[in-house]
Amino acid sequence: MRDVTGRWWRSGRGGTRAGSRGPARRAACGLAAALLALQAALTGCSALSGDDGGRDRALQGALDRWAAALRDRDENAFLAAVDPAADAYRAEQRRVFANLAAVPLAAWDYRLVRTGGFAPERGDGGGRRVAAEAELRYRLAGYDGVPVTTRTRLTLVERGGRWYVAAETAPRGGGQLWQQGPVTVVRGERSLVLGVGQDRERLRALADLADKAVPAVGAAWHAGPREWPGRVVVEMPASLERMAALLDSPVSNYRGIAAVTTGEAGGTGAAAPADRIIVNPEAYGVLGEFGRRIVLTHETAHVATRARTTKATPLWLSEGFADWAAYRGTGRTARQAAPELARAAAAGALPRELPGDPDFGFAGEAGKLARAYEEGWLACRLIAERWSEEKLVAFYRAVGAHGHRDGAVETALRNVLGISPAEFTERWRTYVTEQLGSG
């Protein structure tokens, strides 16, 4: 399951204050609908079976040559794999090849997944045309423990007994940064920043803050190198619109959101998942130094905890922990970091229970959303202060290891903290009152 976690900021009395939005977890029904749509687009497609006279091996061979040429940075060989009659697509692929010039690739491979029925190719002396679905797997050198995997729809044509790639359509889930323009790469000590349409100085400043966020999160999370190697990949597209295109979502979903993190929930079980922090250049640009620091540390915490964040983890815990890691050691008081909840407390409207996942949705009143994040943060802060930081980390891991949502929090509260859900909720409500007052 693909997670998208975001953080939004706005200005209020007394300066800039923080809130968050996300993760926007794509529901299983949405994924199923996307797969059905993909199958419909590939009318007559079937999963690969047998060698069927070698046709599937021939198609896979064409994709292998195409991928090898890109890995070898051989432009002539790369373009030789593209249909010579597809002028517009060849020009597009020439730009993509150039856009990738600075991107440090450790791997780039295609795997043919599904093919459609063959149709005659007009005017080529008996050639054929086929629709296919392929899986692109790539890794960034020194940063990705496992490949990033994405599906793409291709059209291949046969000319003179040889197969060529003639067209490509990105599936639901967004494209890649290098499809938007030449990628500028800045390497930090613990970060790799990729930008399109951004000057190098801005990307360098982003890398510097990311380099500070990594050890801050490492001190809070205590992960082993297999779980999280202590480095992040950050992408900054040219605009909010380009950010939304990468995420294949409406622009309105990310207006005012400074950054999001994408990755596979729960990881692979073999190595750290390949997450990306994607920065909104517009919302991020209006923040001060402290706000940028909090945003990047919050998102880095999601990268670090991704392998231990599962469907059993409630959003109040995943978002609360990310905020706790971000604010940890900053000296900010509860009133400074939780202004919306402080206002509610002053009005005598203290929360009665921990926020549910729906309270973290993109839609709805912004103040309510901010309070949900602040409530989650204070719950994690309570555990760190009244039990210990080590207990907070152990609690987070225990919840994620439960496997499913039912009973996950209850079991971890009992086994790790030695307390019932009702007792914890009461202690949390008392803690909120102590920290923020009741008016």
User: Best-predicted range by mean pLDDT among 33-42, 48-57, 134-143, 169-178?
Assistant: 134-143
Q: Tell me, what's the pLDDT at 252?
A: 85
Q: Does residue 36 have a pLDDT over 60?
A: no
Which one-letter DSSP state was computed for residue 19?
-
pLDDT at 1: 34
Q: Report the pLDDT averaged over residues 257-278.
A: 74
Residue 124 has what pLDDT?
A: 47
Please tell me the predicted confidence (pLDDT) of residue 175: 82
In this prediction, residues 173-193 reach a mean pLDDT of 92
Whether the pLDDT of residue 28 is over 60: the answer is: no
> Which pair of tokens denotes residue 339?
């202004």
Please tell me which residue, 430 or 224, carries the higher pLDDT value.
430
Phi, psi torsion values for 138, nearest 5 degrees: -140, 155
- pLDDT digits 0-9 by tens, 127-159: 689 999 999 999 999 999 889 998 899 999 999
Which pLDDT band holds residue 262 (cuts at 50, 70, 90)? confident
All structural domains of the chain, each given as residue ranges with its CATH number in brackets, are: 42-171 (3.10.450.540), 310-439 (1.10.390)
**pLDDT band with cut points at 50, 70 and 90 for residue 234:** very high
Q: Measured between alpha carbons, how far is 263 from 1 in angstroms, rounded to an integer? A: 8
Q: Which residue in 262, 235, 251 sits closest to 180, CA to CA?
A: 235
Beta bridge partner(s), residue 128:
120
Quick one: pLDDT at residue 122? 56
Dihedral sign, Cα of residue 28, residue 32, residue 37, residue 41: positive
pLDDT score of 317 more than 60: yes
Nearest by Cα to 391 from 416, 367, 409: 416
Least-confidence region, from 27-31, 230-234, 338-342: 27-31
What is the C-alpha separation between 420 and 294, in angstroms, rounded? 32
Q: What is the pLDDT of residue 256?
A: 80
What pLDDT shows up at residue 364?
55
Residue 78: Cβ within 10 Å count: 22
Q: Which residue has the tokens 């007394």?
A: 14
Pair 210, 232: CB distance under 8 Å: yes
pLDDT beyond 80 at 181 = yes
- The string of DSSP codes covering 296-337 is HHHHHHHHHHGGG--TTS-HHHHHHHHHHHHHTTS---HHHH
Instruction: Encode pLDDT of 371-387 as tens digits.
Output: 999 999 999 999 999 99
- CA–CA distance, 71 with 78 (Å, rounded to integer): 9
- pLDDT for 16: 29
pLDDT at 319 over 90: yes
Average pLDDT, the chain: 85
The residue with greater pLDDT, 356 or 174, is 356
Reported as a single tens digit per residue, the pLDDT across 117-132 is 656 555 544 568 999 9
Distance from the Cα of residue 213 to its chain's centroid: 17
Q: What is the pLDDT of residue 118?
A: 58
pLDDT of res. 27: 29
Q: What's the farthest any 2 CA atoms get from each other in the chain? A: 84
